Homo-oligomer: A and B are copies of this chain.
């Protein structure tokens, strides 16, 4: 409340509604007007006086000390300037890219079956606050407040190396890890480093749409690898490619975990053809269900694999923290590239995340989330056959979504519109295909975003639309 009073006064002063030297109402009077305790107003006044926004003069009251300093010099509009909107020539039109559709106001829908979105109920607010407070000590602030240029918080790198990666069989030296703005930036930087106009690069079909968009932005020549029940197929497509992007942990969007035999075949093929691998392990740790299957990176002795993971997907997508593990030579280039683009991920968040991991909150959070997600998966898999008997669905252990193939006549995009009208959000599958028509009958059902007690009703409503 005290803070709200200050916000109100600051806003009024900035807008010029309170001018310099103007006397404010007495704390008694303002308290009466607003119907709040007088000492709330008094302490708000005191704070603003301490900060120099107000002046306090004994016996006469509190006065406005600062005002909106609008510029004194004014420039005329230039001679040739029109008033109509002017359009520069653009070299790319990223707004035309075709994305996974998630309405901004998805939380207002009762049945949001979205992948990767956030259920506020699962956020560990107390332990996050403890971590942030620990990162806000004077000595911590001195360490993170400066410009790290191309480096990262050494504490977070240490926690990743000691407590996060080894559980997947990935051991990294200190110069083989870099922190990124989510796994998304790691993927972008790796593709930017390896792919230029005409570079032959393979990815899965269906696959992650943004991988395709990133390749398109670099001008790379896209080769599509077929996906079967074991994930991406290492066939003739690979020969001639310089790079392949893979999601062996959970193939995006089919959720398939690539089994050991296929992994071996893939690694053999990739080594034979001299191809670099970008391993996008985007949902590692998000949902621990059954034993951990090690990523391809755990076998990499020569630095062929650029391994990508996310921290923010586990905790909160809004935090935007991911990482990349690669050879020291590659990490050096990635750091130089990141430096030019934006320097480094905010170091206060890096430090808070380091505290979150080192205090044991990360591990405890994974356990709590796994329980909640296991319950949701069980419910979804009980009611999917009942309410959507006509579809085929797929979900491998540890995946937080179901990949659905509807009957031949289904138009999943039209269905998603009808479903939204019933309060149900799903993700149409066409966007995962370079040839969108191939995904017309498919859609994705995520269960990390929907409340456990709403899953059955959501599926029931959806079932009414799949005839």
Contacts and interface: CB of A to CB of B under 8 A. Distances in A.
Interface string A102-135: 1010010000000011101001010111101010
Best-surrounded residue of A217, A318, A327 (most CB of chain B within 10 A): A318
Nearest to A87: B329
A409 interface: no
Interface stretch (A342-350, A388-396, A431-439, A456-464): A342-350
B330 A342 contact: no
A169 B10 contact: no
A319 B69 CA distance: 26
Contacts of A169: 70-71, 74
A136 interface: yes
Interface residue range, chain A: 35 or more
Interface stretch (A143-151, A378-386, A410-418): A143-151
Contacts of A97: 336, 340
A434 to B, nearest CB: 16
A80 interface: yes
Contact of A341 (B132, B184, B345): B184
A316 interface: yes
A461 to B, nearest CB: 23
Nearest to A158: B11
A70 B169 CA distance: 6
A5 to B, nearest CB: 10
A86 B302 contact: yes
A214 interface: yes
Contact of A52 (B69, B271, B367): B367
A90 B341 contact: no
A414 B363 CA distance: 51
Contacts of A180: 342
A235 interface: no
A453 interface: no
How many copies the complex holds: the figure is 2
Interface string A349-378: 100000100111101100100000000000
Contacts of A136: 125, 128-129, 132
A15 B163 CA distance: 8
Contact of A94 (B271, B303, B336, B364): B336
Given A271-B80, A359-B6, A298 B146 contact: no
A213 interface: yes
B363 A11 contact: no
Interface of A: 3, 6-7, 9-11, 14-15, 47-48, 51-53, 66, 68-95, 97, 99, 102, 104, 107, 116-118, 120, 123, 125, 127-130, 132, 134, 136, 138, 141-142, 144-149, 151, 162-163, 166-169, 180-182, 184-185, 188, 192-196, 199, 210, 213-214, 217-218, 242-243, 260, 263-264, 267-268, 270-272, 276, 288, 291-294, 296, 298-299, 301-304, 316-321, 327, 329-330, 332-333, 335-337, 339-349, 355, 358-361, 363-364, 367
24 contacts: A14-B167, A66-B363, A69-B288, A71-B168, A71-B298, A75-B260, A77-B267, A77-B301, A80-B272, A85-B327, A88-B304, A92-B193, A102-B149, A120-B141, A123-B142, A132-B136, A144-B316, A144-B318, A147-B318, A180-B342, A181-B345, A185-B341, A214-B340, A321-B346
Given A70-B167, A71-B167, A188-B342, 16 more contacts: A7-B358, A14-B163, A51-B364, A69-B291, A72-B292, A74-B298, A78-B267, A79-B271, A80-B272, A84-B302, A86-B304, A94-B337, A118-B146, A144-B318, A184-B341, A320-B344
